[in-house]
Structure 1
């Protein structure tokens, strides 16, 4: 058994969409308690041809370990991430490929998100709509389990900015639908660790530079927006959508 096959077998990696010589590998981390059939069925409707889909379905892995297992098992030169509660538009993979075709130096691409979570590209690298050069991601060490569950995608994107040999960018045309609010909630210890490890990027990207922005940020950190969204969406532990 090859190393890649061994990784896949050991980490619960399934290939519900398996095509020869894929250029793009879509990795969906999940756990058996979550349904991932809907996102896979949506991915079957993509307008692209040369892609595969890997579902990492292993409750023993945290989200960073699951993503890393998918990256290692991927056969495409580009890895695209989404989550089991997302619905990619039909042109999602085609638009990712087009972005990499336009820019030979591109190594990490973030896209827009709408629905229960919204995002329009502020270098936070939201993991439900993120694509990157596979070799570059492996070279920087993939996702760090130390940040699993909070800011792991942001930390990965900032490390790609700092350490990868290439350019990171945002493409508004690369869009993702996130129907429901995210399942994560703020982890103050990990937030502080990110600030400590990346003080300049943290200040530039995550600290608002206007008074209304700072008030909004303070309310979010105190959990006020969590309560508002929990009432709005009628779900526990909802997270403010622009984080």
Structure 2
């Protein structure tokens, strides 16, 4: 009996999504697709070509929060996220499940992500593998991950509320990581668990970088000391201006992290950045 469900949120990317579903079909695990109000042929094609996929149709684009709907619909103890341009290696889930069993305090496995046909490591890989937080319960301890290559303990995810609607999309993993760690859960990078990511060979859409920076500012206001939030806002005025319409909503959900976790975040942010 399957113990991991793959959850995908997608909007208007039927071609790449169908390629992902084709790869996932080889794993023989439950798949939940949350369609974010697509206007292309996503819904009809998935129904016709992948009738085994549980398709949830959202009337509006919920962004990353659509994954929360998929996790709630899952009936397995673990959930592996995928994007509509990513999928899991054939043995990835089989490798992950015993690790969760062995470590009941583990909430997230951040997988090794291989990009494109060449299988080059994603730039985030050395940041996770060489984490300055040291060794965790099942590998290097981390306070972040990429949603397209992460496996979560379903109940832990639900207990902390999943992805935040304040952030919508881009960089939403950081807040979830902090909330899980604050609740006492462990997050680890595991080299032997592999995901494949095949993004389209184009640059980012206009404004995506600002959205990600905006969300970093909002996340800081939601969880870190006021001095850190002020510093982040002054350092990136454009991102702060973009954050202003959502700042009230963010502050209503403000909950400062425990000091030991804040110390870990300071250690991570002080590290010289490598890669992208």
| TM-score, normalised relative to structure 1 | 0.69
Q: Corresponding residue for 2:160?
A: 140
Q: Corresponding residue for 1:37?
A: 18
**Which of 189, 192, 207 does residue 170 from structure 1 map onto?**
189
Going from structure 1 to structure 2, the CA distance change for 1:98 and 1:118 (only over 3 Å counts) comes to farther
Structure 2 residues without counterparts, runs of 5 or longer: 38-59, 117-121, 129-141, 225-261
Q: Corresponding residue for 1:203?
A: 266
For residue 220 of structure 2, give the secondary structure of its aligned residue in structure 1: helix
Going from structure 1 to structure 2, the CA distance change for 1:160 and 1:90 (only over 3 Å counts) comes to same
Q: Corresponding residue for 2:217?
A: 192
Deviates more, 1:181-190 or 1:192-201: 181-190
Contact 1:24 1:79 survives alignment (8 Å) = yes
Where do 1:89-168 residues align within 5 Å?
Answer: 89-115=89-115, 117-120=122-125, 121=128, 122-163=142-183, 165-168=184-187
Provide the rounded CA distance (Å) in 2 between the counterparts of 1:66 and 1:209: 33
Kindly report structure 1 stretches of 4+ aligned residues shifted beyond 6 Å.
Answer: none
Provide the rounded CA distance (Å) in 2 between the counterparts of 1:45 and 1:118: 27
CA RMSD between the two structures: 2.3
CA apart distance, 1:203: 2.9
Contact 1:195 1:202 survives alignment (8 Å) = no
For residue 196 of structure 2, give the secondary structure of its aligned residue in structure 1: strand
1:74-98 alpha-carbon deviations (Å, 9 max, x no partner): 1111111111111321112112213
Provide the rounded CA distance (Å) in 2 between the counterparts of 1:132 and 1:67: 12
Structure 1 residues without counterparts, runs of 5 or longer: 1-20, 217-240
Provide the rounded CA distance (Å) in 2 between the counterparts of 1:191 and 1:90: 34
Deviates more, 1:119-128 or 1:68-77: 119-128
Equivalenced residues, count: 189
Contact 2:79 2:154 survives alignment (8 Å) = yes
Contact 1:62 1:148 survives alignment (8 Å) = yes
| TM-score, normalised relative to structure 2 | 0.61
Contact 2:32 2:74 survives alignment (8 Å) = yes
Provide the rounded CA distance (Å) in 1 between the counterparts of 2:22 and 2:146: 22
CA apart distance, 1:186: 4.2
